[in-house]
Amino acid sequence: MTLQPNRIYQGNCIEKLRQLEAGSVDLVFADPPFNIGYSYDVYDDQRTTTDYLEFCEAWIREVHTALKPNGTFWLAIGDEYAAELKVLAQQLGFHTRSWVIWYYTFGVNCVRGFSRSHTHLFHFVKDPDDFTFNGENPAVRVASARQLVYADSRASTKGRLPDNTWILRPQDAPAPSFSPSHDTWFFSRVAGTFKEREGFHGCQMPEQLLGRIVRVSSNPGDLVVDPFGGSGTTLAVAKKLGRRWNGFELSKEYVSRIEQRIEGCEIGQDLDGPADPQKSAPKTARGKTRTKFKNGRPVISLDSETESSVIEAFTEASDGHSTDYLLCDPKLSKRFLSACRERSLPGDARMWNSFLLRIRKSGKLPKSTNSGRRLSYTDMDPYSDGSESAMRLVGIDYGMTLDEMLCSPQAASEFDQLAGMFSPGYSSFEYRWAALALRKRAGTKRYRTLASDQQQYWSQQRTPNRFALEKCLAAKYDCPGVYVVLFEDSVLYVGETQSIRDRVEKLLNTEAWMNFAPTAVRVWFLKDEQKQFGLRSFLINRDKPLLNSEYLRQS
């Protein structure tokens, strides 16, 4: 039996892991029972040491089998068996990349020992030379001390990644001696009074902690597995971040509660809890933070001298094109960044591009005199779906708007690569321009009104039956219309196109699309562009597909 993704299965995790296709899983996160006598509803947490280690060896062996050759395994474990399970995992073929300490408040009080306020997080990989580690993802990185405290113009806007540290209390530590990017991670436990507490399971992990692990060790569309479903946090986070997921749980009661929790989650929804808990923790000593933050990112001041230099660099590099055109054209964008460097501007590429958009908003940039290449919706039809899907996935994973993606060379490159995987054969300019065109169209008053006016009409129409994707390869489907791509009962994507046949043929022959395991399609034959947009907007707002842009949900 092969298990279907996006399901929680009740049963023994060893048996369920064996039902996964070997080498099919990208990331496993496991938070097993610690064998400390905790009271679960069906599991005995007081095994002998020999019995417990044999149990762990069995399920870790199956994890190794289920993972892809470049797969990653994260293990959360307490002090009692941390050393034993680290050695055991290595004996079974894993390589240790990191030994992270999760430090939390609301620690466990001990009478004859120091109160426990940490859990071990082991980061294992199958291949030490080939594994996923998205260290450039800005949602994984955190602000440096130069950003947080000193407002240093030399600080990289990307923030920084981990260094090794020991710490007693992060609230009292002088910056930068503690940071959530260290291998000692500070996240509060999900205590009983916390809003995100589900209530039915006493060992709930924080969503932000799982978010960091899922983001750094997997990509959108990857398969994430949790052998010990527990409160369902791993699965909820995987769904919110656009991953496929499987969970196993011994307790029928927990399975039922997890299903309710997952049902209440939406793809792209914010993770619960503070992304940077150090900022929400009270400090013993008062201090000043000079850098202001908006949406978790530093807001850098723009003085008049820097503003003038950015305008000069843009005028020199743009060849009379608009700001959007420059950001979409890699050659012009590179020329602008070179002009900024020549003027020794403070900051980096992301900051300079952000300054450019801020200056445009203030109306101080010269007007465009060169319209350049113009693309119609018909021109963009062969790749607009790939552009939209890439925009959606990078937006979920990086926590960025489209403007923020285009300002960040790393995110823009990731967007280009993803769009090329969904719709091969086109240029970065075409992919980026299609994304901007979609946003502009969705935000236009005319189209927003059109979508609103058609909502009631489409809600009263019959939904076409689903059928196999291959049926769309027939000649009768070489026509305009709206189509819905399904994975079982879940909607993956809603598209409008000039040729349903061409879109579905590409889907069937493109690995990026097939990674989402589409199983069926629905089709509406529509020639009128306005009706296409109205129906598409209605379906996206009703079904909330994984791969459609947030901009269309607002239409």
Using a pLDDT cut of 90, give the percent of the chain over it: 62
pLDDT digits 0-9 by tens, 437-479: 999 998 888 888 888 899 899 999 999 999 999 999 999 999 9
Q: Where in the chain is the domain with CATH 3.40.50.150?
A: 7-263
**Fold designation for 377-553:** GIY-YIG endonuclease (3.40.1440)
Q: Quick one: pLDDT at residue 180? A: 44
Q: Taking 80 as the threshold, does the pLDDT of residue 291 lie above it? A: no
- Cis status of the peptide bond prior to 176, with omega within 30 of 0: yes
Structure tokens at 401: 């708007």
Q: Where in the chain is the domain with CATH 3.40.1440.10?
A: 377-553
* Alpha-carbon torsion angle 385, 386, 388, 391, nearest 10: 170
Q: Quick one: pLDDT at residue 140? A: 74
Q: Taking 70 as the threshold, does the pLDDT of residue 107 lie above it? A: no
Report the distance separating Cα 519 and Cα 470, nearest Å. 10
CB atoms within 10 A of CB 187: 24
Report the distance separating Cα 235 and Cα 245, nearest Å. 6
Structure pTM?
0.79
CA 7 vs. chain centroid, Å, equals 19
Domain at 7-263, CATH from 3.30.450.20, 1.10.10.10, 3.40.50.150, 3.20.10.10: 3.40.50.150
Grouping H, G, I as helix, E, B as strand and the rest as coil, residue 487 is: strand
pLDDT category of residue 49 using cuts at 50, 70 and 90 = very high
Region of residue 347 (left: phi > 0; alpha: psi -120 to 50; beta: else):
left
Q: Quick one: pLDDT at residue 166? A: 30
